[in-house]
Structures are given as C-alpha cells and as structure tokens.
Amino acid sequence: MTPLKNIIIATTAVLALGAVSGVAQAQPGRYYDYGRQDHLSTGYVDSLDWKIRNAARQGRIDWGEARDLQNQLNQVKPLAYRYQTGQARQWEVNRLERTVDRIDREVRY
C-alpha cells in the first residue's frame, strides 16, 4: 500500500470511531423519555409531598389517606432518581409512573 492510502484508511477509521463514540455519549439513559421528564423527575416527585399535605389541610382527603399516599410516595422516590439518571429498569419506570399518576389523581383540585 502506498503511504497516502495508509493515511486515508487511518483517518477514516479514527473519524468513524469518533462518530460512534459521540452517538453513544449523546444517549442520556436507557429509559429516559423527554416527554415524561417533568412528570417523573425527582423535583416533581418531591413536590407531591406538598400537594398531599395541602390536600389534607384543605379537607380534600383525610389525614389517614394522606399518610398512606405519603408512604407510597416515599417508596418510589429512589425510583425517580434512578429514572432521572437513566438507571431505572422498565418495570421501575412503570411503577413510578403508576404511583405518581395515582397520587396526582387523589390530590387534584
């Protein structure tokens, strides 16, 4: 092979590896879904604490139900972090989503 061919082949290989590496780094997480980010993020899940207490204070739910919802929320808080960092498995995402949706329905105005 001529030296020019060697340079072209080496350059092409480096560029191809760089492109594959860039694409792999751009993937934020296995189950990360931008459309649901706000709904399942740790910030939103943490805000449900206030919504539960506020609904109980306003009499929309009783305090026993508020405690039950608080316990359910505390069980899925670690899943919100795992979801946000892209470490959650699909069943964890499903559980988090079901719990957050259920709490949202209960404390809605």
Rounded Cα distance between 85 and 62, Å, is: 34
Same domain? 43 vs 82 = yes
What domain count does the chain have?
2
User: In angstroms, what CA-CA distances link 42 with 4, 9, 69, 74?
Assistant: 54, 47, 17, 12
pLDDT tens for 19-63 read: 555 444 444 444 444 454 578 888 899 999 999 999 999 999 999
Same domain? 64 vs 77 = yes
Model confidence at 14: pLDDT above 90: no
Contact 45, 95 (CB under 8 A): no
Specify the pTM.
0.63
Rounded Cα distance between 88 and 68, Å, is: 24
Same domain? 54 vs 92 = yes
Q: Letter for the amino acid at 6?
A: N
Residue 6's domain comprises: 1-29
